[in-house]
Homo-oligomer: A and B are copies of this chain.
Amino acid sequence: MDLVLGIDGGGTGCRAALASATGDILGRGRGGPANIRTDLAGACENIVEAARLAFAEAGRDPALIGTAGAVLGLAGANVGDYKQRLQAMLPFRNSRIENDSLISLEGALGEHDGAIAALGTGTVYLARQKGHLRPVGGWGFQIGDLGSGARIGRDLLQETLLVHDKVHAGTPLADIMLERFNRDPSDIVEFTTAAKPGDYGAFAPMVFEHAAKGDALGQKLVERAVADVEETLAVFDLAPTERLCLLGGLAGLYAPLLSKRYRAIMHPPLQDALGGAVAMAARIFGKAGGGHG
């Protein structure tokens, strides 16, 4: 029987699942970071380690990893030539390397047409419609990622300064923020000198929470973020028969706020990204008895 591997890798770690040719998962394994842009050799080692652990958990000899066809969804695989270089290093019989958003979409939508919107610290969108893939966004919070936690948090700090300067009227949310920074604008500016997207994004849930309580500032920021997300979704012109899956840490906060048109086609993801990689691997390398890497 042919074995296939699904692998989901990114900057914090990678996960592998060994499955039968029909996609039934037999074993799982975890490995260290798969940062193909900053440490290609290390990423390759961690991916192989996760695959070997999946073989071991399935009661198979890890020395046989070279017999499996693998689908890898890796953050950053759409940039530069890392994909080609990694492909040449991997020990699997066949390796298909895709961007992480594709295995997320495969997991979330299965065979359905539609789109995923990953709404977390950043935002990135991918649609698959009649076999055509369309990625949108994901350019980082500095000049992109509208509607992301990072952008909502950054906007909140900006508004806090405007309230401090009395350019905008205060609200309970603004007051909480001013208190948090000792009512000193220098402290807010100081925060931004070292803040990473996740540091800004940490404020986002609070914005949604205060918006729900009727805070005018919270509502303004959430309304803007929802409008940004919907403006992007409009690009896909999703049909009523297509599906929309929201993913990421803010998915649950956005879900009830999107307009009826989108709520009507919203579905929870069928599987996670690793499940999507396994399903792709079974489709590509399982049924046809091997495929071509």
Which residue numbers of A lie inside 8 Å of B, CB to CB? 79, 136-137, 139-140, 142-144, 146, 154, 157-158, 161, 165-167, 185-186, 188-189, 192, 231-232, 234-235
Contact = CB atoms under 8 A, between A and B. Distances in A.
B144 A79 contact: no
A143 B192 contact: yes
26 contacts: A79-B186, A136-B165, A136-B166, A137-B165, A139-B161, A139-B185, A139-B188, A139-B189, A140-B189, A140-B192, A142-B189, A142-B192, A143-B154, A143-B157, A143-B158, A143-B161, A143-B188, A143-B189, A143-B192, A144-B158, A144-B189, A146-B158, A165-B232, A165-B235, A167-B232, A167-B234
Please tell me how many copies of the chain the complex holds.
2
Nearest to A231: B167
Contacts of A158: 143-144, 146
A5 B136 CA distance: 59
9 tightest Cβ-Cβ pairs between the two chains A and B = A143-B158, A143-B157, A142-B192, A136-B165, A139-B189, A139-B161, A144-B161, A167-B232, A143-B192
Contacts of A142: 154, 189, 192
Nearest to A228: B167
Contacts of A157: 143
Nearest to A160: B143
Contact of A136 (B144, B167, B192, B231): B167
A232 B234 CA distance: 34
Nearest to A195: B142
Nearest to A142: B192
A235 B164 CA distance: 12
Given A142-B154, A142-B192, A157-B143, A167 B79 contact: no
Contacts of A166: 136, 235
A231 B162 CA distance: 10
Given A136-B165, A167-B235, 17 more contacts: A136-B167, A137-B165, A139-B161, A139-B185, A139-B189, A142-B189, A142-B192, A143-B154, A143-B157, A143-B158, A143-B188, A143-B192, A144-B158, A144-B161, A165-B232, A166-B235, A167-B232
Contacts of A161: 139, 143-144
A46 to B, nearest CB: 25
A280 B91 CA distance: 76
Contacts of A137: 165
A143 B191 CA distance: 10
Contacts of A232: 165, 167
Contacts of A188: 139, 143
